[in-house]
Chains A and B, each alone.
Chain A
Amino acid sequence: MFRRMFSRSLYRLKNLSGSRGLSLHNSSISSDYAVLAAFQPLLHNRPYATTPPPAAFASSLNQTELAKFAAIADSWWDAEGPFKPLHVMNPTRLAFLRSTLCRHFGKDPFSPRPFEGLKFVDVGCGGGILSEPLARMGASVTGIDAVEKNIKIARLHADLDPVASSIEYRCTTAENLVEEQMTFDAVIALEVIEHVADPAEFCKSLSSLTVSNGATVISTINRSMRAYATAIVAAEYILHWLPKGTHQWSSFLTPEELVLILQRASISVEEMAGFAYDPLTGQWTLTDDIGVNFIAFGIKTANNSSV
């Protein structure tokens, strides 16, 4: 299992870096990869994608990932169900969003609805756990998800609150929105990029959806040994917070990789933070430690700047 795990990650690295050597020396977790790099394993195809994505694949979706989420869609709003970790982490993510976006757009952080007049898109909105609070903060939110069931659940729940019923939910992909030439002030894709087949293409789509000087926020889990121990072994197998197989360690991105692919998509990452979980209080807090969960806030640079 370990060999397959390493080989998958190496395949990933090669895929990402292409002809450019990926500088791992500055990373604090590079020692792990120095070990990996020393291996010269056979390269296997990623066994999790049932059909390897063709070169001209327009969407960055991964069908098996979608099926996993469709299976547990009914329990999105059950705060004690399989999505409990997301519910518990939600206020912390929103705190980061609130502080960075208020600062970026120059809004009053003490206003109860600071995002009035801004258009946001929540990519991979699931049941709307993030979209509803954003709507309550005043934004005009569009929530998109590739799983039809999720959109249905999201709409049903949003109708319970008059403020949330202004959210536009659509069962579509980021690429389709790009084709429709829609743009938003802020594009938010939290805990999504680790489930897509081609993260680089996904980031390009997100970038096309963002207006110039708009914000792009992505959160994901780091591809580190600690993350394997906590997010996969502990969360899925020991504590049973998440169903087994929710995450694939090889699909995780390191912060450096994320910054790189965003840079290629004309998004310059300005701030990054990590989430830390305190088992005694059961609360998540924002921290500088990006070793496991991290969130990145980037600004779309003007179109003619070169990477």
Chain B
Amino acid sequence: MSRLIATRRLVSNIFVPRLATRAFCTDAPAKLNDVPSGSHFNKEPEGDERFMNDVPQHDIAIVGGGMVGMALACSLASMPLTKHLSIAIIDSNPALSNGPLIKKDDPPDPRVSTVTPATISLFKDIGAWEHVEQHRHAYFDKMQVWDYTGFGYTKYNARDADKDVLGCVVENKVLHKSLLSCLQNKDFNSTIYPTRLSSLSLPTRSVSSAGGSVSSTSSKNLANLAKLDLSDGTNLYAKLVVGADGSKSRVRELAGIKTTGWNYSQSAVICTVEHPTENFCAWQRFLPAGPIALLPIGDNFSNIVWTMSPKDASNHKIMNEVDFVKAVNHALDSGYGPRPESRVFGGDVLSSFFRPDVTSSVHERFEPPPKVVRLVSDRMAFPLSLMHANQYASKRMVLIGDAAHTVHPLAGQGVNMGYGDVSSLSNVIADGVAVGSDIGEVTLLKKYEAERKTANIAMMAVLDGFQKAYSVDFGPINILRAAAFNGANVFAPLKRNIISYASGERRLPFLS
């Protein structure tokens, strides 16, 4: 990209004499010295064909090269109908150009994601999972969920839904690096711009009726495309701009898309801890202030995601390590309430009555989670909120991943929803190319929106419901929750439904 920056300066030198002679460029002399704002070059009168060819034009510009943006690039690279498209990835993260290699004996990074089987199959399809498997990753096939009241617990086993695994816990940097390697190994026309987006102009609807005869054909072409101005002064044109730049998306802001949502009055503290033995199960205990989750990450390490009030979060972040480990063990097992009994409220009766429907995991006893002995990483805290963009798509612009929606981490679904968006958008783009549509056309993008909005809103409603249900400490509600725990534990169809919905096999809950 240094070549691009060099040519910009060269271009300004080459074009000095030309601009001086133009009659209709009134502020040209003043702006010639103002080199950094390179965008004014492109607003120049349109007769200059040679100049126009210097401005890069791409089919798709992905703003944000994180886990979700890179996954979209890899997905497009792996499909025969879309691998001819030219893609620009705009992200100032230095890891994209020449990131440090991940060393095997580094302790696990606390930023991890639980990928569902649906996401694993997406990665396998695009050829990135083999790269993930070369680094640390932890499949888990068991999960235990209970709360502090001690009235009930649910043990999920992948075998209940005839699967091998419930999910896999992988560090975010591993996912990102795998996607990057996958993209580099493919013969794909993608360019990385290591900079940030500063402004964006999307074409308005009235372009087709603009009948100005002064402008040449090439400028009419460009007026119909989206123009991106980057913070290092370069510009590029694209038929479609994909906003994959996270919850504070600049693309969403520039496109004027409003969001709905609210802040949870909770923050999450994340860190990596070590056990005496390897952990193979995912544990989640709902406490009065929020759930604490213990996820296996590989070797003897686990990842902790502990949701609590923001004040407690900052306290836990700064307290010394020994106290923190004690607090974690207290939260996981010994504190806040009793352990659930293994058979509660006539569980024997229930299981004998519904014998054919009962899952094998009913007979598994409640297991206390493994003890934490040591903290091995820094603690991070970040606030939690729910956010949903009102629209995912508009002319020549579409949002995916956290730019479109953010959720509570209590079910590990956030990034998986983003990967669902990737899968859907790449299929929609492929279908569009198959029938010769313009890929930035709103009607095509609205198909993606219709597909993903329903699924995402349904998931968000379920997760928000859980979050609200578990923030109330009130006798009857506690009993109801316990009944829900026991019910989910005992009834096989319900458990199978829950597992298959959470694994990403079905888009909507409770509809087969």
Residue in B209, B211, B224 whose beta carbon sits within 8 Å of that of A161 in the complex: B224
Which of B4-12, B194-202, B436-444, B475-483 lies at the interface? B436-444
Q: Are B211 and A111 touching (Cβ within 8 A)?
A: no
Report B71-88 residues with CB < 8 Å from chain A CB: 80-82, 84
Interchain CA distance A133-B211 in the complex, whole Å: 22
Report B316-363 residues with CB < 8 Å from chain A CB: none
What residues of chain B lie closer than 8 Å to A112, measured between beta carbons?
Answer: 80-82, 84, 433-434
Residue in B209, B220, B435 whose beta carbon sits within 8 Å of that of A159 in the complex: B220
Interchain CA distance A88-B450 in the complex, whole Å: 15
Q: Are B221 and A134 touching (Cβ within 8 A)?
A: no
Q: Are B217 and A91 touching (Cβ within 8 A)?
A: no
Interface of A is mostly: helix
> Given contacts A111-B80, A161-B224, are A132 and B208 in contact (CB under 8 A)?
no
> Given contacts A112-B84, A165-B217, are A95 and B443 in contact (CB under 8 A)?
no
Report B422-453 residues with CB < 8 Å from chain A CB: 431-438, 442-443, 450
Interchain CA distance A161-B208 in the complex, whole Å: 11
Report A122-164 residues with CB < 8 Å from chain B CB: 132-137, 156-157, 159-162
Q: Nearest Cβ distance between residue B431 and chain A, in whole angstroms?
A: 8
Q: Are A134 and B436 touching (Cβ within 8 A)?
A: yes
Q: Are A160 and B209 touching (Cβ within 8 A)?
A: no
Report A48-106 residues with CB < 8 Å from chain B CB: 74, 77, 79, 87-88, 90-91, 94-95, 98
What does the 1/0 interface line of B120-163 toward A look like (CB < 8 Å)? 00000000000000000000000000000000000000000000
Report B82-98 residues with CB < 8 Å from chain A CB: 82, 84
Q: Are B80 and A133 touching (Cβ within 8 A)?
A: no
Interchain CA distance A132-B441 in the complex, whole Å: 13
What residues of chain A lie closer than 8 Å to B217, measured between beta carbons?
Answer: 159, 165
Decide yes or no whether A2 CB sits under 8 A from chain B: no
What residues of chain B lie closer than 8 Å to A133, measured between beta carbons?
Answer: 435-437
Interchain CA distance A132-B436 in the complex, whole Å: 8
What residues of chain A lie closer than 8 Å to B16, measured between beta carbons?
Answer: none
Interchain CA distance A156-B206 in the complex, whole Å: 12
Q: Nearest Cβ distance between residue B5 and chain A, in whole angstroms?
A: 27
Decide yes or no whether B207 CB sits under 8 A from chain A: yes
Residue in B81, B208, B223 whose beta carbon sits within 8 Å of that of A110 in the complex: B81
Residue in B221, B435, B450 whose beta carbon sits within 8 Å of that of A94 in the complex: B435
Q: Are B208 and A95 touching (Cβ within 8 A)?
A: no
Q: Are A160 and B435 touching (Cβ within 8 A)?
A: no
Q: Which residue of A lies closest to B84 (CB)?
A: A112
Residue in B224, B432, B450 whose beta carbon sits within 8 Å of that of A160 in the complex: B224
What residues of chain B lie closer than 8 Å to A159, measured between beta carbons?
Answer: 217, 220-221
Q: Are A160 and B443 touching (Cβ within 8 A)?
A: no
Q: Are A79 and B435 touching (Cβ within 8 A)?
A: no
Q: Nearest Cβ distance between residue A231 and chain B, in whole angstroms?
A: 21
Q: Are A136 and B443 touching (Cβ within 8 A)?
A: no
What residues of chain B lie closer than 8 Å to A162, measured between beta carbons?
Answer: 221
Q: Are B81 and A79 touching (Cβ within 8 A)?
A: no
Q: Are B433 and A91 touching (Cβ within 8 A)?
A: no
What residues of chain B lie closer than 8 Å to A135, measured between beta carbons?
Answer: 436
- Which of B81, B208, B211, B438 has the largest number of chain A CB atoms within 10 A? B208
What residues of chain A lie closer than 8 Å to B209, measured between beta carbons?
Answer: 74, 156
> Given contacts A112-B81, A162-B221, are A91 and B208 in contact (CB under 8 A)?
no
What residues of chain B lie closer than 8 Å to A161, measured between beta carbons?
Answer: 221, 224, 438
Interchain CA distance A157-B438 in the complex, whole Å: 12
What residues of chain B lie closer than 8 Å to A88, measured between beta carbons?
Answer: 443
Q: Are B84 and A95 touching (Cβ within 8 A)?
A: no
Interchain CA distance A133-B442 in the complex, whole Å: 15
What residues of chain B lie closer than 8 Å to A90, measured between beta carbons?
Answer: 435
What residues of chain A lie closer than 8 Å to B431, measured between beta carbons?
Answer: 91
Q: Are A160 and B436 touching (Cβ within 8 A)?
A: no
Interchain CA distance A165-B218 in the complex, whole Å: 11
> Given contacts A88-B443, A112-B84, A165-B217, are A160 and B437 in contact (CB under 8 A)?
no
Q: Are B221 and A110 touching (Cβ within 8 A)?
A: no
Interchain CA distance A134-B437 in the complex, whole Å: 9
Interchain CA distance A44-B161 in the complex, whole Å: 70
Interchain CA distance A88-B432 in the complex, whole Å: 13
What does the 1/0 interface line of B272-304 toward A look like (CB < 8 Å)? 000000000000000000000000000000000
Report B205-228 residues with CB < 8 Å from chain A CB: 207-209, 211, 217, 220-221, 223-224
> Given contacts A112-B81, A133-B436, A136-B436, are A160 and B211 in contact (CB under 8 A)?
no
Residue in A91, A111, A157, A281 whose beta carbon sits within 8 Å of that of B435 in the complex: A91
What residues of chain B lie closer than 8 Å to A132, measured between beta carbons?
Answer: 436, 438
Q: Are B442 and A79 touching (Cβ within 8 A)?
A: yes
Q: Are A156 and B211 touching (Cβ within 8 A)?
A: yes
Interchain CA distance A133-B437 in the complex, whole Å: 5
Q: Are A156 and B208 touching (Cβ within 8 A)?
A: yes
Q: Which residue of B lies closest to A79 (CB)?
A: B443
Interchain CA distance A123-B285 in the complex, whole Å: 68
> Given contacts A110-B81, A112-B81, are A160 and B207 in contact (CB under 8 A)?
yes
Q: Which residue of A lies closest to B450 (CB)?
A: A281
Interchain CA distance A136-B81 in the complex, whole Å: 13
What residues of chain A lie closer than 8 Å to B221, measured between beta carbons?
Answer: 159-162
Interchain CA distance A88-B433 in the complex, whole Å: 16
Q: Are B208 and A160 touching (Cβ within 8 A)?
A: yes
Q: Nearest Cβ distance between residue A240 and chain B, in whole angstroms?
A: 19
What residues of chain A lie closer than 8 Å to B435, measured between beta carbons?
Answer: 90-91, 94-95, 98, 133, 137
What does the 1/0 interface line of B223-241 toward A look like (CB < 8 Å)? 1100000000000000000
Q: Nearest Cβ distance between residue B223 and chain A, in whole angstroms?
A: 8
Interchain CA distance A296-B223 in the complex, whole Å: 38
- Which of B84, B217, B438 has the largest number of chain A CB atoms within 10 A? B438
Residue in B223, B224, B434, B443 whose beta carbon sits within 8 Å of that of A87 in the complex: B443
Interchain CA distance A281-B454 in the complex, whole Å: 12
What residues of chain A lie closer than 8 Å to B443, measured between beta carbons?
Answer: 79, 87-88
Q: Which residue of A lies closest to B434 (CB)?
A: A98
What does the 1/0 interface line of A273-294 toward B look like (CB < 8 Å)? 0000000010000000000000
Q: Are B442 and A157 touching (Cβ within 8 A)?
A: no
Interchain CA distance A94-B438 in the complex, whole Å: 13
Q: Nearest Cβ distance between residue A108 and chain B, in whole angstroms?
A: 9
Interchain CA distance A156-B217 in the complex, whole Å: 10
Q: What are some 11 contacts across the A-B interface (CB < 8 A)? A: A74-B209, A79-B442, A88-B443, A91-B435, A91-B437, A112-B433, A132-B438, A133-B436, A136-B438, A162-B221, A281-B450
* B residues in contact (CB < 8 Å) with A: 80-82, 84, 207-209, 211, 217, 220-221, 223-224, 431-438, 442-443, 450
A-B pairs, 4 with minimum CB distance? A133-B436, A136-B436, A94-B435, A110-B80
List 4 additional contacts besides A160-B221, A161-B438; criterion CB under 8 Å: A88-B443, A111-B80, A160-B207, A161-B224
